[in-house]
Structure 1
Amino acid sequence: MVKIEPFDVEQWMDKYETIPEVLNIAETCAASISIDDLVGLCEDPNVPHPLKTSTKLTYGAIRGSAALRERLATLYSARVSSPLSPENVLITPGAIAANFLLLYTLIGPGDHVVCMYPTYQQLYSVPKSLGADVSLWKLRREKKWIPDLDDLKALVNDKTKMIIINNPNNPTGATTPKSVLQALVEFAREKDIIILSDEVYRPLFHGVSPVDEDFPPSILSMGYSKTICTGSMSKAYSLAGIRIGWIASRDRSIIEEIAAARDYTTIAVSQLDDQVATYALSSSVMHALLGRNIKLAKTNFAILESFIDENRRVCSWVKPTGGTTALVKFENNGKPVDDVQFCIDVIEKTKVMFIPASKCFGPEFEGCVRIGFVSETEVLKEALLKLGEYVRANLS
């Protein structure tokens, strides 16, 4: 029997996010939008409505519609000499299904996997459940949560089949720079190791600019065929409710192997979800949607930064540069708080919800909480106002 570890972050969310009038700053999606909102962002009034209600609701295109895969392939073909083919993209029910499916297909007993840590628990718990030996490539606060290649090299052995990264990173909000990605790719190529990059928060960068020398591209643009990336419409695109994710790789054989395995799992995605995603990724909509979310991230980042500065006697952070999350450390009398009890007490007394890092990401992160700060701005403001009142009354 496969042993699955409890998925702590998801169980915490399930337990608390439905509390009436909760101020949810645990959510990791950029503030969600409706179909009406999406249509309102469209810059071309002649573009048809995303939902074609006359479509017969068959399984549809098993690998995802040609239009959706073409639009995703175009995104991964920017600024590279070799365009990505739509046949190298596979559509899945969210990135969580994408990650599970590819790990289920490619990893098994006897394999060794190295996974960036902290990160989304699925990325290291699923390989372990499949019988793989898993080593954690630990990020360090003193290095601003940027991975160290020497640490990685000490973990890799002759059985290492895959290196897993998450860029931008959840929960720290750190981005792995281009120079580190290049060194990682060169090392993996020498060892013939697959790199999986979970890029669900890409391209939501708010603290680093595309003109910066070290701006991180997608792993697929780094010139190594044995790279895989996963993504979704949930985080950077504000459309978690349509459950659309994807797997992309320049190695067609990897995609074909995963496509064969999916026959035992999800078969296809909803045609309606596919239509909405295709609309959102059209040139008439995507730029406005991402512009909205990057602006929201920058606005809210400044609000959270101001809160931390005002309460620096009890809280601190490494400023995130991408994604929607920040890892914030709270102290009381100079010692890390019990972050689990802290989160419970805050939600019971203020209705403000965030995630205890020691429970959901590892005991090394005692005293830290993960805040999802790209919610509606008014929600964040109200939550931080109440949290400020709480910490001034209870922490010293």
Structure 2
Amino acid sequence: MVKINDFAVESWMDAHETKCKYNLAETCCASLSIDQLRDLSENKDGQVFDTAKILDYGAIRGSEQLRNNLARLYSAKVASPLSPDSILTTAGAIQANYLTAYALVGPGDHVICHYPTYQSLYEVPKQLGAEVDLWKAKPENEWIPTIDDLKALIKPTTKLIVINNPNNPTGAVLKKSLLQQIIDLASETNITVFADEVYRPLFHSISPIDKDFPPSLLSMGYKNVVVTGSMSKAYSLAGIRVGWIASRSPELIETIAQARHYTTISVSHFDEQVAAYALHPSTIHSLLARNIQLAKTNLALLERFVLKNEDECEWVKPVAGTTAFIKFHREGKPVDSVNFCKKLLEKTGVLFVPGSQSFGDEWKGYVRIGFVNQTDVVQKGLDEATKFVRKNLDDVDLAT
């Protein structure tokens, strides 16, 4: 029997997210209804659903319209366009990530994973029998891991390097120059690089004109790359459960497609139609503009919160994505983040995620805050959290 460790962050969300008043644990941009999505589109009379469509299994690897729209996104500003045949759709990015590990690693393989990050990215390879080492980022280096540390982790059995860019929970990005160093290192021994890019393209604090702006790993010229994405985070449509896997390697795509047959025949017709509508050129620009502006507005609120409470908390300001990793302390000693989050929820209805439970024991005092919810929710939640810090922080246990 496979040993399955608790998926801590999802267990926390399962237990609390439907019972809180102010959800600042949510990592999706504020979700949209179908009517709101249509309002954002230039084609307001366009059909989101084809109600006459026969509800069979449909296209096994993903609808033609959806894969064409995704291929167009990955082909922008690159010399070699991506074929729609290089994309598989999945039931959310969590399945995309699982399938990638399931298809590519097993006992005897060695995996290196960027850290801290979403637990499944390193936990699933462990469950599959692989040896896993963590490529650790540190706050004193702006949450950017070093290439020398990565080199030191490489073994003859290294099969996969896993990165999460932009990063959950820190909001940091691995910039183009570091991505190139990763590719150069991996290509020396033909290691596959797997990038969870679910928070692309939500870049709120770095400009595309920056010479070190991070492209998708698919556009870096190395064939042995797999990336995953999702409609949930940057595109505000978690409820349709659409994700994808993309690679310029036909061999990698075929290997993952064979594994996919054991888990998914096809993704829902309805879900894929909504995703295709959202990613169509008539909709996607307004949708992303809405979410990037929401992220900028709410990040300013979060920055003010940190300044108000600078004696009790510290952070590295996030660059992209929807999350920030903030450390709370009392007289210089980190609080017990689980106790902090539970008492905060009980007293105020504000939900944060405890970092030491959800992202690793060493992150004492850290909490993850999702700040791209509706602005009024974020503002009220942060106001309540400030009151809690000022009135109740002395009642919170310190980390041991």
Question: Under TM normalisation by the shorter chain, which class is it?
Answer: over 0.9
> C-alpha separation between the residues in 1 aligned to 2:44 and 2:97?
36
Does residue 90 of structure 1 match 2:88? yes
Q: Give the 3-state SS of the residue equivalent to 1:50 in structure 2.
A: coil
Partner of 2:6 in structure 1? 6
Pairwise CA distance, 1:45 = 3.7
Partner of 2:22 in structure 1? 23
* Cα offsets for 1:347-381 (capped at 9, x unmatched): 00100001000000001100000000000000000
* Cα offsets for 1:293-317 (capped at 9, x unmatched): 0000000000000110111000110
* Cα offsets for 1:200-259 (capped at 9, x unmatched): 000000110000011000000000000010000000000000000000000011111111
Task: Show structure 1 runs of 5+ residues with no match.
Answer: none
Corresponding residue to 2:140 among 137, 142, 164: 142
Q: Give the 3-state SS of the residue equivalent to 1:28 in structure 2.
A: coil
In structure 1, give the amino acid aligned to 2:151. Answer: K
Is this contact kept in 2: 1:99–1:230, CA < 8 A? yes
Partner of 2:359 in structure 1? 361
> C-alpha separation between the residues in 2 aligned to 1:336 and 1:102?
37
Cα RMSD between the aligned structures?
0.8
> C-alpha separation between the residues in 1 aligned to 2:27 and 2:199?
9
Q: How many residue pairs are counted as aligned between the two chains? A: 394
Q: So what's the TM-score if we normalise by structure 1?
A: 0.98
Q: Give the 3-state SS of the residue equivalent to 2:114 in structure 1.
A: strand
Partner of 2:397 in structure 1? none
> C-alpha separation between the residues in 2 aligned to 1:7 and 1:145?
23
* Range with bigger deviation, 160-169 or 140-149: 140-149
In structure 1, give the amino acid aligned to 2:389. Answer: V
Is this contact kept in 1: 2:161–2:193, CA < 8 A? yes
Does residue 66 of structure 1 match 2:89? no
* Cα offsets for 1:125-181 (capped at 9, x unmatched): 000000000000000111100121000011110000000000000000001010000
Pairwise CA distance, 1:82 = 0.8
Q: Give the 3-state SS of the residue equivalent to 1:301 in structure 2.
A: helix
Is this contact kept in 1: 2:225–2:249, CA < 8 A? yes
> C-alpha separation between the residues in 2 aligned to 1:49 and 1:393?
52
> C-alpha separation between the residues in 2 aligned to 1:395 and 1:94?
38
Is this contact kept in 1: 2:38–2:44, CA < 8 A? no
Identical positions, percent: 59
> C-alpha separation between the residues in 2 aligned to 1:347 and 1:395?
13
Pairwise CA distance, 1:334 = 1.7
> C-alpha separation between the residues in 2 aligned to 1:185 and 1:263?
30
Structure 1: 4+ residue segments shifted above 4 A:
none
Corresponding residue to 2:322 among 321, 324, 333: 324
Q: How does 1:1-396 map to 2 (within 5 A)?
A: 1-19=1-19, 22-46=21-45, 48-395=46-393
* Cα offsets for 1:309-356 (capped at 9, x unmatched): 111000110000000000000011221001100000000010000100
Q: So what's the TM-score if we normalise by structure 2?
A: 0.97
In structure 1, give the amino acid aligned to 2:15. Answer: K
